[in-house]
Amino acid sequence: MGDVVIEAVDLSYSYRRSTVPALLNVNFKIFEGELVVVTGHTGCGKSTLSRVMNGLIPHFYKGTLEGKMFVWGHDVGETPLKELCKIVGRTFQNAESQLLASSVRRELAFGLENYGIAREEMVERISQISDLMGLNTLLDKAPYELSGGEMQRVALASILVMDPQIIVLDEPFGNLDWRGRKALFSNLLSLHDKGGFDSSGELNGKKTIVVFDHQIDPIIRIADRLIIMEQGRIVQNGDPRMVFSNADAINMPCIVRLFHRLKQEDITNGKTPLTPKELSERLATSK
């Protein structure tokens, strides 16, 4: 297990003029290279938690923040937002609102230009990220010409090309159909395996990825950890297959629900299957 790159310590937060805390005594650690899924019902606090991770809270959204959130050792409450943006890249629930340039190519170049990246390196980064995300045929299109799934992929690529250490995705699957979810899942799978630039400019190494969503299938199949929130608190935190061994867990994928309906007493031990292949194998061993 790698270094701790995100840590919440007794974290609580209340929005201005709200009488109910959005976060309450939240504690967790996320390690370098992990893919963590955070889920829960609407209003559970997951979007608020994602805003704290990249400093939108407390630097943009005002309210009362107690406790600490650290990203790569930086206290988000004391680190300028412009510095945090270099460490944590975040996509928003509405990808369309995040796309500002006249074309996909210009969108990918926008942040690099602001950072003063040399033109040769910009071209190389855009080329490699376009290959990784399957965007080569979209580079000259305007954002308004794209589907919802394509917009989400471009928004993610525009963050990834900046090479932050941590990627935070807020509801990336929520507004996508099954084709869009499948394409984004494939992109995240590639990103989890090979998503950073090494000293020679080549893509190399895992990214730390945190996905906040109530639509967690199929991303949960490759997740290292699942965090479930309720009313601003963390109520489950662990291996997804172990968390879903509890038949009362929320936001179960359809495979998990089917498993709980079909299983007999002699196959209740062990980890819950998350894929059709795992389900078939588990049911076969129960005979």
Mean pLDDT value across residues 173-182: 77
CA angle 25, 212, 88 (to 5 degrees): 85
| Model confidence, pTM | 0.89
Contact 253, 215 (CB under 8 A): no
pLDDT confidence of residue 261: 83
What is the DSSP track for 86-104? HHEEEE-SSGGGG--SSSH
Give per-residue pLDDT as tens, 40-94.
999 999 999 999 999 999 999 989 999 999 999 999 999 999 899 889 999 888 8
Give per-residue pLDDT as tens, 233-271.
999 999 999 999 888 888 899 888 888 887 754 455 567
pLDDT confidence of residue 198: 54
Mean pLDDT value across residues 222-243: 95
Find tokens 């210009």 and name the residue. Answer: 106
170, β-bridge pairs? 212
Spatial neighbors of 44 by CB under 8 A, at least 6 apart, are 229, 230, 231, 232
Give per-residue pLDDT as tens, 3-41.
999 999 999 999 998 989 999 999 999 999 899 999 999
Neighbouring CB atoms inside 10 A of 187's CB total 22
> What are the backbone dihedrals phi and psi of residue 17, each rounded to the nearest 5 degrees, phi first?
65, 15
List domains and CATH numbers for the chain: 4-252 (3.40.50.300), 253-287 (no CATH)
